[in-house]
Amino acid sequence: MWKESWLGWAWSTLPDKTADWMTLLVIVIAAFFLARRLVWSEARTGTSWKDFVVIVVAVLPFLTGYFLAHGTLDKVAFLGDNLRLIHVLSGEAMILMAVFLFCVTRMIPTRCTGCAACELSCPTGTLESTDKGTLRVFNYSHYQCICCAACVNTCPENAAELRHDISPRGFFQVFSKQEIRSAEMMPCQKCGALFVPERLFTKIHKAFTDEYLHLCPNCRQINVVDVNRRMAPWIKKPGAPTQSTK
């Protein structure tokens, strides 16, 4: 188009052989990522149809371009006549996808204990949790996330992930934060205050069985004072009458 315009100038092009090898490399890499999602159970966990769409839409312009340049599908019904159109449309689809493609943080519910270590390590403050009712709720905004992976590296459960996500709705969620995870909280056995996510408690309780684990930090302090008092009865109880000295 540049060359046909009044400028009469064009970008220099890569030699055909180099372009071919680069195209084949992209196709092989895409095939690897597709196979990885289909075969490797670790990658398959949590894979959604969007992950496949991202790979297919990204590779389609290269695949159709390669077939078009080499006439591979020229004799195939429909494709032979329409491959040029498909190639152009796939390029458009890839550009459109780039507009709605975001790098987002995910917390895998089957692994996440709700400990909030990821929140503490997040340098932009986009990941934040609040305790609401019986739940600890994690909120997040993909526009604020810089995809630094600090949360991924901090997570002790390997539950935080960075993923690509196509989201036309997410494109418009500029100012609001979205809920990405909620964890059930456990009450203190003494005062009933919700103080620890249930899954985190279960995990800690496997290693430590101390009765204090069932108490919130506040009741633990009160309890420790009681224990001290039993061991040292001369410590004055609050509200106890003071001994009068005559």
Interacting residues toward ligand SF4 by CB under 6 A: 105, 107, 112-118, 121-122, 124, 126-127, 145-151, 154-155, 157, 159-160, 162
Nearest to 125 by CA among 105, 111, 99: 105
CB of 210 to ligand SF4, least distance (A): 22
Select 43 or 116, whichever has its Cβ closest to ligand SF4.
116
Select 10 or 174, whichever has its Cβ closest to ligand SF4.
174
CB of 24 to ligand SF4, least distance (A): 33
CB of 156 to ligand SF4, least distance (A): 6
CB of 129 to ligand SF4, least distance (A): 8
Select 163 or 214, whichever has its Cβ closest to ligand SF4.
163
DSSP letters, the chain, are: -TTTSTT--------HHHHHHHHHHHHHHHHHHHHHHHH-HHHHTT--HHHHHHHHHHHHHHHHHHHHHHTTTTTSTTHHHHHHHHHHHHHHHHHHHHHHEEEEEEE-TTT-----HHHHH-TTS-SEEEEETTEEEEEE-TTT-----HHHHH-TTS-EEEEEEE-HHHHH-SS--EEEEEEEEEE-TTT--EEEEHHHHHHHHHH---GGGGS-HHHHHHHHHHHHHHH-TTSPPTTPPPPP--
Select 64 or 113, whichever has its Cβ closest to ligand SF4.
113
Structure-block tokens of residue 26: 């992209």
Select 43 or 180, whichever has its Cβ closest to ligand SF4.
180
Structure-block tokens of residue 68: 């078009």
Select 30 or 155, whichever has its Cβ closest to ligand SF4.
155
CB of 143 to ligand SF4, least distance (A): 11
CB of 14 to ligand SF4, least distance (A): 35
Select 68 or 116, whichever has its Cβ closest to ligand SF4.
116
The C-alpha angle with vertex 154 and arms to 200 and 139, in degrees rounded to 5, equals: 70
The per-residue b/e assignment along 198-212, b for 16 or more CB within 10 angstroms, e otherwise, is bbbbeeeeeeeeeee
CB of 118 to ligand SF4, least distance (A): 3
